[in-house]
Each structure stands twice: as C-alpha cells, then as structure tokens.
Amino acid sequence: MASAAPAADLADVATTDLMSELLHRMKCASKPDKRVILVGPPGCGKGTQSPILKDEYCLCHLATGDMLRAAVTAKTPLGLKAKEAMDKGELVSDDLVVGIINEAVKKPSCQKGFILDGFPRTVVQAEKLDAMLANQGTKVDKVLNFEIADSILEERITGRWIHPASGRSYHNKFAPPKVPGLDDITGEPLIQRKDDNADVLKSRLEAFHKQTKPVVDHYKERGVVVGLHAEKSPQEVSAEIKNALS
Ligand code: AMP
C-alpha cells in the first residue's frame, strides 16, 4: 500500500484540482476492473487511444517504451542497460521489462486495472505476465490487436510528435498541434523520438512481426483477442474499442 502524500504537498494543490481528482475517483469507484493489452506495430494508434481508454475506464497506462525512454534520459542503471538495444530498434531483455511491469502494477493508479502498451512483446513476457496475474487471482481480460498494413506506418511515424509527460501524440499532417511544436493542453514543447525514422522503423517492424505476433496467438488460444481496423480514423477505432470492452 502506498503511503499518503504529506499534508504539506496537498495544501499546495489548487482546490479545483483536488475537487476534480475527487470527482474522478468517485466516478471510477463504480467501474469494473479491467486488464487490457494493446498490441500493434509502431504508429498503429496505440498512443492515441491509450489516454482515451485510461480516462473512460479509470485504468493506469503502462507503456514500457515510455518508461524505458524516461530511464535512458535519467541515465539510471536500467536506462544504461536498455539504451543500446533501443537505439537499434531491437528489443531489450525480457527480465528487464518484466521487472518494470512487476513494480508498476503496484501503483495506486492501477487499482482498477491497467492498459499495457508495448508489453508483452514476446511469449516469454506474456507467460510471465499471466503467472504474475494468476498469483493475484486475476487474468488478462482483453487483448486489442491493432491490425494495419506496414505500408501505412512510415508516414505516420516520421511525422509524429510526442508530449513526453502525458504521452499525447500529434502528427504534422494528420493531427497537428494548435501551435507548431507545443502541446495543446500544457503548452510544453513536443519532441520527435530518436527511433521514429524510416531506417529504425524497419528493424522495429521486423522485431514486431517476428516476436510479437506469437503473443497474439498465445492470447487467441485463451479467447481474449479482438482485432481492430487500425487504418481507420481515431474516432472509428475508439468506437471499435468501446464495443470490444462493453
Ligand atoms: P515503443 O515505444 O513501444 O515503440 O518501444 C521503444 C523501444 O523500447 C523498443 O524498440 C524496444 O527497444 C524497447 N521496448 C519497449 N517495450 C519493450 C518490451 N516489452 N520488450 C522489449 N523491449 C521493449
């Protein structure tokens, strides 16, 4: 159980923020628990759908790629271990990412369940996740499989801009920010990921097809996979997700 924030910290939080957090928690109390996995190649729309899903179902969003990038930026021991593989578009070791997820799901924000984004990416990771959940008497409820042709992804990836703190993503052509280079909500600068280029995308797609497709088969055997038409508009994909989770 996480300890409460010291009163001094809460005293510094604006009343309107505290009230909206309280209202959010009251709304969430009646939502059923859900453990959802998002599977799909880079640029398939997982990052666009995750914040929507997170708010709607009161889940925490755990994106191993985001967590690893934060560790690389902070130059933590974990980040130093992960950097080389990430720069080349290869997968980092199963033990490393499983360790990250094991810790992350203990956060209070994951109490109602979680959205796993970019994890599990190998069958070993899926088996370890299943074992961890079985230990807690739970299981994966749904795997949302973002199906899309590789040929569409290059344009989506090379034009992509990210707000690192929230995970919100933008696109030069398909979803430009109101002010170029700045996040719509916070006004903070957007970044382009180092591995969001055509060359590295090739290795990332190779890794995806080779190692991640078997993860989908693993969960198909358990009857929890739903295929999405990820080439459609974000609104249409959101509607498909709502259907899948209802
Ligand atoms: P992503 O942001 O999901 O595209 O991930 C960026 C990079 O982080 C990948 O190319 C991998 O090097 C690494 N990574 C993220 N998640 C995993 C995972 N579950 N297993 C192994 N490597 C991962």
Cβ-count burial 156-187 (b if 16+ within 10 Å, e if not): bbebbbbbbeebbbbbeeeeebeeeebbeeee
Residue 112's contacts (CB-CB under 8 Å, 6 or more residues apart) are 28, 31, 33, 34, 57, 58, 59
Q: Residue 3 pLDDT > 60, yes or no?
A: no
Q: Could you list the residue range(s) of the whole structural domain that residue 150 is in?
A: 34-159+196-245
Atom from ligand 1 closest to the CA of residue 207:
10
Is 172 contained in some domain? no
Q: What share of the chain is helix, strand, coil (3-state, %, to 5)?
A: 50, 15, 35
Establish whether residue 44 lines the binding site of ligand 1, counting it when its CB lies within 6 angstroms of any ligand atom: no
- The total number of structural domains in the chain stands at 1
pLDDT at residue number 26? 87
Is 213 contained in some domain? yes
Ligand 1 pocket test target in 121, 132, 157, 204 with most atoms within 8 Å of CB: 121
CATH number of the domain enclosing 109: 3.40.50.300
Establish whether residue 170 lines the binding site of ligand 1, counting it when its CB lies within 6 angstroms of any ligand atom: no
Is 6 contained in some domain? no
Establish whether residue 65 lines the binding site of ligand 1, counting it when its CB lies within 6 angstroms of any ligand atom: yes
Ligand 1 pocket test target in 39, 80, 91 with most atoms within 8 Å of CB: 91
- Output the CA 152–ligand 1 centroid distance in Å: 20
Is 131 contained in some domain? yes
Across the chain, mean pLDDT equals 91
- The residue with greater pLDDT, 1 or 73, is 73
Establish whether residue 241 lines the binding site of ligand 1, counting it when its CB lies within 6 angstroms of any ligand atom: no
- Output the CA 211–ligand 1 centroid distance in Å: 12
Model confidence pLDDT, tens digit, residues 6-65: 556 888 889 999 998 889 888 888 888 999 999 999 999 998 899 899 989 999 999 999
Establish whether residue 43 lines the binding site of ligand 1, counting it when its CB lies within 6 angstroms of any ligand atom: no
Ligand 1 pocket test target in 46, 68, 206 with most atoms within 8 Å of CB: 68
pTM: 0.83
Q: How far apart are the first and last CA of the chain?
A: 30
Is 191 contained in some domain? no
Is 44 contained in some domain? yes
- Output the CA 161–ligand 1 centroid distance in Å: 18
pLDDT at residue number 104? 92
| Percent of residues, the chain, with pLDDT higher than 70 | 97
Model confidence pLDDT, tens digit, residues 49-79: 998 999 899 999 999 999 999 999 999 999 9
Is 9 contained in some domain? no
Model confidence pLDDT, tens digit, residues 169-185: 899 998 999 999 999 99
Q: Which residue lies with its CA nearest to atom 15 of ligand 1?
A: 65
Is 165 contained in some domain? no
Establish whether residue 118 lines the binding site of ligand 1, counting it when its CB lies within 6 angstroms of any ligand atom: yes
Long-range contacts of 169-174 (CB under 8 A, 24+ apart): 169/47, 169/48
Atom from ligand 1 closest to the CA of residue 204:
10
